[in-house]
Structure 1
Amino acid sequence: MSEVRELPGSPAPRRLRFPAHEIAGLAGTSFKHEHLPAILQDRAQDGFFEVHAENYMGAGGRPHHALEQIRRDYPVSLHGVAMSIGGPQPLDRNHIERFRVLVERYEPALVSEHLAWSTHQTTYFNDLLPLPYTEATLRRVSEHIDEVQQAVRRPILLENPSTYVAFQESTMSETDFIRGIVQRTGCGLLLDINNVFVSATNHGYSALGYLSHFPIERVGEIHLAGHTQQVDDEGDPLLIDSHDGPVADAVWKLFEIVINRSGPIPTLVEWDSSIPDWPVLKAEARAAQELLDRHATPFSSGKVHAHR
């Protein structure tokens, strides 16, 4: 089994509390507590589960009891949604410490956060907001990622955003900005393919062109999700990263293009509202797994993308 990957200079890995389940080449789903009885009954289920860190920052109770049951049998991906790594103000040290405790407590196979900001002074927004792609922003985001990685003593994965507006002061493309972050911090990447499709549609650029410039070699996890379509004030399509339905056909096609190039990277299907019964979500993960398996053979002896 793979070892947990540590940053250079970190103390020797401690004795693991949970089994070190392999995650390479697996598809998974968001873990929803209402699905727990069905998951526990369905012992034939393979794959992994992802949880939002902020839902488990209390000390105990039913959420932790449920997550412990899942973690004993499956790999877990810990996904932060409120770190505000892209924000202009210093990171909340108390939040970082709670995040660190979760990483130590559950020994997740993957740890990730968003390239976004969500705070202003003492106000926390229920949104992941975009940021300008400038040298000053690149420097600040890199410093924040270094701070988080030193706290959790391992590289994290950074997720590309879904965006609805762009900043005129940006001096570089999103992919160049992300590549700069990787070069400065050594972090990995979480490639959300639905976000790519949503942003490309909203801004009128090519999703394939974006992916051709994205540093795929640094991707440790892929996200797939559903979106909804609206129209803006001028009647043009406006996609919303809603996570409230099945993965769209166009996103499936982009996913297959990516893994044909990269090999089978751990892939998660997100579904966070209008949550269906477990068999529906399980079928989405099974569809992702079938595509991963189809592209596994040529890469079976190559490098593994999962960051452990």
Structure 2
Amino acid sequence: MFGVGLRREHYPYLTEKPITDIDWFEVISENYMNTEGRPISVLESIRKDYPITCHGVGMSLGSSNEIDPNYLKDLKALIDRLDPFLVSDHLAWNHWNGIKLHELIPVPYHEESLKIIANHIDYVQNELQRQIAVENISAYFNYTTSTMNESEFLSLLVQQTGCSILLDINNIYVNAKNFHFNPVDFIKTIPKESIAQVHLAGFTDMGTYLFDTHAEPVHQEVWNLFETSLELIPENIPIMIEWDENVPEFHKLEAELNKARQIMNKRDKNETRKITKPVL
């Protein structure tokens, strides 16, 4: 299954109900929560023809504050309305003591934060009455108090809460370049069966570091990492392209997604050759 993020720039095109190469759409939950405007109307029209996922940026799982119950109430209403096949958010925080930031801030990776975030995930899954997926983020600083890395932390969250993982290949590559680690080792650490979805996106090279902007096509290095990772992720997993800035025309987004489809088809053909190879 191959999907893209639903963006308002494509509303006029999609409301004409064209034939597309898209299998499903991912929506940013907060854009459609607690609203009866045009966006939700367009989304409900698209939902008649396509499965969707709800991907949040405001749950703030990593905050030391409690999860906002009103936020969860609005999210659950949206979930009940749209019946997404996956609900996800980030291993990050952006709310604290009534202050809301417009960035996803990384968390320290140690036992204390693990306990807090695991409790938050348990609470969210109980309130929503469903499993959620947690995404690895791009980060631009580390905490000196961390006692483990992000992939180890995510793996422990899976063990303790039963959540799944939204694996962002671009974020792994960006962090690997910025913090000098092996991105394949990161993917190997994540329990394969816990990976529920894959994100692919484009970064911007700022000269001294990579910046996760979602403003460019997927870079070749990320495609290479994606292809390498195929043995480490489940088969038939939902894969999508994120493109949030400098959003292209829809056909260009489809072409970008079809690169992922071609890589997967190449993997499938190679696997078929292995299976059908005669035994001498």
Measured against the shorter chain, the TM-score band is over 0.9
Alignment of 1:260 with 2:231, yes or no, is: yes
- The answer to which of 112-121 and 291-300 deviates more is 291-300
Partner of 1:230: 206
Partner of 2:118: 142
Residues 186-239 of structure 1, C-alpha deviations (whole Å, 9 max, x = no match): 0110000000001111111111222222223210000000111114xxxxx311
- The answer to which of 70-79 and 281-290 deviates more is 281-290
Alignment of 1:295 with 2:267, yes or no, is: yes
Residues 165-190 of structure 1, C-alpha deviations (whole Å, 9 max, x = no match): 11111111211111110001001100
The one of 211, 214, 218 equivalent to 1:247 is: 218
Alignment of 1:86 with 2:62, yes or no, is: yes
RMSD of equivalent CA atoms: 1.6
Q: Distance in 2 between matches of 1:299 and 1:91?
A: 44
Letter in 2 for 1:259: L
Alignment of 1:277 with 2:253, yes or no, is: no
Task: Please give the secondary structure, in 2, of the residue aligned with 1:221.
Answer: strand
TM-superposed deviation, 1:150: 0.9
8 Å CA contact retained: 1:194, 1:225: yes
Q: TM-score, normalising length from structure 1?
A: 0.84
Q: Distance in 1 between matches of 2:240 and 2:263?
A: 13
Q: Percent of counterpart pairs with the same letter? A: 38
Alignment of 1:30 with 2:1, yes or no, is: no
Partner of 1:168: 144
Q: Distance in 1 between matches of 2:194 and 2:73?
A: 26
Task: Please give the secondary structure, in 2, of the residue aligned with 1:194.
Answer: helix
Partner of 1:205: 181
Partner of 1:102: 78
Q: Distance in 2 between matches of 1:124 and 1:296?
A: 44
- The answer to which of 260-269 and 114-123 deviates more is 260-269
TM-superposed deviation, 1:47: 1.3
Q: TM-score, normalising length from structure 2?
A: 0.92
TM-superposed deviation, 1:260: 3.4
Give the 3 Å change call, closer, same or farther, for CA 155–292 of structure 1 in structure 2.
Answer: same
Task: Please give the secondary structure, in 2, of the residue aligned with 1:73.
Answer: coil
TM-superposed deviation, 1:258: 1.5
Higher helix share: 2
8 Å CA contact retained: 1:260, 1:295: no
Task: Please give the secondary structure, in 1, of the residue aligned with 2:139.
Answer: coil
8 Å CA contact retained: 2:187, 2:232: no
Partner of 1:4: none
TM-superposed deviation, 1:69: 1.1
Task: Please give the secondary structure, in 2, of the residue aligned with 1:260.
Answer: helix
Q: Distance in 2 between matches of 1:291 and 1:57?
A: 35
Task: Please give the secondary structure, in 1, of the residue aligned with 2:146.
Answer: coil
TM-superposed deviation, 1:161: 1.2
Residues 260-281 of structure 1, C-alpha deviations (whole Å, 9 max, x = no match): 3332311110001111111111
Letter in 2 for 1:283: A
Q: Distance in 2 between matches of 1:132 and 1:195?
A: 17
Task: Please give the secondary structure, in 1, of the residue aligned with 2:58.
Answer: coil
Task: Please give the secondary structure, in 1, of the residue aligned with 2:165.
Answer: strand
Partner of 2:278: none
Q: Distance in 1 between matches of 2:246 and 2:20?
A: 25
The one of 80, 93, 101 equivalent to 1:125 is: 101
Residues 5-36 of structure 1, C-alpha deviations (whole Å, 9 max, x = no match): xxxxxxxxxxxxxxxxxxxxx11111012213
Q: Distance in 2 between matches of 1:68 and 1:41?
A: 13
TM-superposed deviation, 1:42: 2.2
Q: Distance in 2 between matches of 1:168 and 1:55?
A: 35
- Mind listing any 5+ residue stretches in structure 2 that lack a counterpart? 273-280
Letter in 1 for 2:32: Y
Higher relative contact order (CA 8 A, sep 6+): 1
TM-superposed deviation, 1:296: 4.0
TM-superposed deviation, 1:45: 3.0
Partner of 2:87: 111
Q: Distance in 2 between matches of 1:90 and 1:273?
A: 32
8 Å CA contact retained: 1:264, 1:296: no
Letter in 1 for 2:11: L
Letter in 2 for 1:161: I
- Mind listing any 5+ residue stretches in structure 1 that lack a counterpart? 1-25, 232-236, 301-308
